[in-house]
Amino acid sequence: MMKNIKLYFVLFMFGWLTGCFEDEGNYTYSELNPPIWVQEFNDISPKNIYGYAGDGEVMKFLGSSMFRWEGDSAARAAEVRYEWKIGEVVIGEELDFEIPTDELVEKIGMKRYSNSQGEWGTFNVIEKKTGVVFPARLYVWIYPRFAVNDWFILSENGGNSKVSVIRRRVVSEAGEKVWGYELNDNVYKQINGHEVPGKPLDLVMETSRDVSPSGACVILTDQVAYEVNSQNMEKVSEVKDQFLDGEPENFNIAIMREKAPQSPSFGEGAASFVATKDGRLFTRMRSANYLSGKYLTEPYYIDAKGYRITKIGHSLYGGMIPCYDEKNRRVVMATTWRVDVNESGEMGEGTSVYKTRVIPIKEDYAVEVAGFPEGTEVLYLSAKNHISWGYGGTTGLFTIYYNDPTRSTENTFVGDFSYDNRNSVLTYMGFERWFRLPVKLDASSVFLVSASQRDISAEVNAAKYRDFYTVGNKLYYIQRNTGYYDKSVRFLEFNAEFSSKITSLAYAYANLDQLWVGCEDGNIFAYDITNIASPRLLFKKNVGGKVVSMKQIGWHTSYEDWY
């Protein structure tokens, strides 16, 4: 029986194939003349198109650069039409066209800009007669008005402050596409319609994803602390209005920093630390999704000694923040810690919450961070990463610059120390050290230190071993040795001349391959420092008044500096 079934199946297939052969010639075939694409525009390698939002910004969609025709191109072009789509929305039907970015955003119904994700689309060449579609894949990046790699600049503006923006854009020079830098002067006033009152103090970056995907920035002066959207610089709040029980009495902010959430997937939110002119410290702990969290109206309590916080130092994104308590001449560490909560006491009913934590260092080894001698002047505090072995996780390495009159009246001291957040103790790994600078610095000096843990380029690695400091209009750097046990350092002058006193320094935070120098006369110099011995000037701009702070916006990670 099985053999018969197999035989019938073979005969059936033979008949079907014979029918197919006999049907030859029953169809009309047209020879396709498809566009010859300059590359394979598919999901793996789509045509990338870039655009920025904002008044006057346009996006260009140039199909003519994507393909050519074989044979009579003019005749073939008359036989087809074009269609540009983002998602399911047709945005244009010309071979080449321009459209204002803001109009495009409205047309596709885009609600929120992202720094890390584009929009999929297609460029379709469609044969009019047959309707045959020849598609090419697009990936369209639509950035906010102020986007990754742009810089916010805070400067003096008569008796007020102003915020300008230097934007990094691709421009055409001598027929070639190159990176250029354009200055948008006094942008805050243009957008918000009023001045920023007071003497400029700092620009403070906040993760604040509730404000925008790029977070927020606090414009800090001696009169106000305005929180603005980092993507469009619209004012969204004032720090004085972000307190749980109303603004504290005599609330005048002098310094503020944020500890970005290192582990948001575990429920950790961002923590902010604000010090007032009289040294009081106020804190805020936000939820992981930024939907809650206000500053406590009561000042933070450290211990029975009291305190007066006059320095809040530089940190890694998500890392501990070193602070200086001038009253007790000691270093305290601002961070967060997780607390287990179980109201009912029942097994499985508990949860965890994060809280702010400010811990005094109660012991020291090579550096007197638990209690400096009377008369000590602390100039700068920062996280550091020039010794890789033994540090990381809950243990951090830090650097402090200070003047100790009991040891020298002619030199500033530099001290390296480490701290373990988990056990709340100073650690001793054998690498703690101190050394003297060949000069005595004062409060007018500016410092730039990196704690980056990224190892993606030679310049990132070099920055680990280098600290910048200024004396007037001169820029110097400390070059540490890369050997674990080699404590030797060199003191070198940066090979460039500046027009006036240096008042601000900044790194391009991701690769640390650019050094930006702001001056008292309003000049800003940007250098490519891939070769530190031979820096290359990228541009020089002037914002018209003393440059106080320069911050590059964009996505940070827990391995990068949180400038």
Q: Say which residues have a Cβ less than 8 Å from residue 142's Cβ, sequence separation at least 6.
A: 51, 52, 53, 59, 101, 104, 105, 110, 113, 118, 119
Q: Say which residues have a Cβ less than 8 Å from residue 304's Cβ, sequence separation at least 6.
A: none
CA dist., res. 191 & res. 186, Å (int): 9
Angle made by CA atoms 290, 231, 106, in degrees to the nearest 5:
105
CB 553 within 8 A of CB 146: yes
CA dist., res. 251 & res. 307, Å (int): 17
What pLDDT does 176 receive? 77
What pLDDT does 127 receive? 96
Q: Which domains does the chain have, with CATH numbers?
A: 36-143 (2.60.40)
Neighbour-count burial of 550, counting CB atoms closer than 10 A to its CB (0-12 exposed, 13-18 middle, 19+ buried): buried
Which residue in the block uniquely carries the two structure tokens 């820096």?
535
Which residue in the block uniquely carries the two structure tokens 């003519």?
64
Instruction: Classify strands 47-52 and 133-143 as parallel, antiparallel or unpaired.
Output: parallel
What count of Cα atoms within 13 Å lies in the side-chain half-sphere of residue 403? 14
Residue 237 phi, psi dihedral angles, 5° rounding:
-170, 175
Q: Say which residues have a Cβ less than 8 Å from residue 549's Cβ, sequence separation at least 6.
A: 153, 154, 200, 201, 202, 203, 504
Encoded tokens for 265: 């997937």
CA dist., res. 368 & res. 377, Å (int): 13
What pLDDT does 29 receive? 57
DSSP E strand boundaries for 404-499:
413-420, 425-427, 433-436, 447-449, 466-471, 474-480, 489-493
DSSP result, 191-256: HHSS-EES-EEEEEEE--TTT-TT-EEEEEESS-EEEEETTT--EEEEGGG-BTTSPPTT--EEEE
Element containing residue 285 per DSSP (H, E) = strand 281-285
What pLDDT does 10 receive? 37
Note every long-range contact of 398-403, with CB atoms under 8 Å and residues 24 or more positions apart, other chains counting: 398/313, 398/322, 398/331, 399/449, 399/467, 400/322, 400/331, 400/367, 400/369, 401/441, 401/447, 401/469, 402/372, 402/376, 402/377, 402/378, 403/376, 403/377, 403/379, 403/440, 403/441, 403/442
pTM comes to 0.89
What pLDDT does 428 receive? 56
CA dist., res. 34 & res. 132, Å (int): 10
Q: Say which residues have a Cβ less than 8 Å from residue 414's Cβ, sequence separation at least 6.
A: 399, 400, 401, 434, 435, 436, 437, 467, 478
The helices-and-strands tally (H runs, E runs) of the chain is 5, 38
Element containing residue 190 per DSSP (H, E) = helix 187-192
Could you list the pLDDT tens digit for every one of the 563 residues in the chain?
444 443 333 333 334 444 444 555 555 556 778 999 999 999 999 999 999 998 889 999 999 999 999 989 999 999 999 999 999 999 999 999 999 999 999 999 998 888 778 999 999 999 999 999 999 999 999 999 999 899 999 999 999 999 999 998 877 777 777 889 999 999 999 999 999 999 999 999 999 999 999 999 999 999 999 999 999 999 999 999 999 999 999 999 999 999 999 878 788 999 999 999 999 999 999 999 898 899 999 999 999 999 999 999 999 999 999 999 999 999 999 999 888 876 666 676 667 888 999 999 888 888 999 999 999 999 999 999 987 666 666 788 999 999 999 999 999 999 999 888 766 555 555 557 899 999 999 999 999 999 998 888 888 889 999 999 999 999 999 999 887 777 889 999 999 999 999 999 999 999 999 999 999 999 999 999 999 999 999 999 999 999 999 999 988 888 899 99
CB 160 within 8 A of CB 61: no
CA dist., res. 251 & res. 274, Å (int): 10
Encoded tokens for 508: 């391009």
Element containing residue 75 per DSSP (H, E) = helix 73-77
CB 182 within 8 A of CB 164: no
What pLDDT does 8 receive? 37
What pLDDT does 1 receive? 42
Angle made by CA atoms 275, 279, 280, in degrees to the nearest 5:
65
Residue 410 phi, psi dihedral angles, 5° rounding:
-120, -5
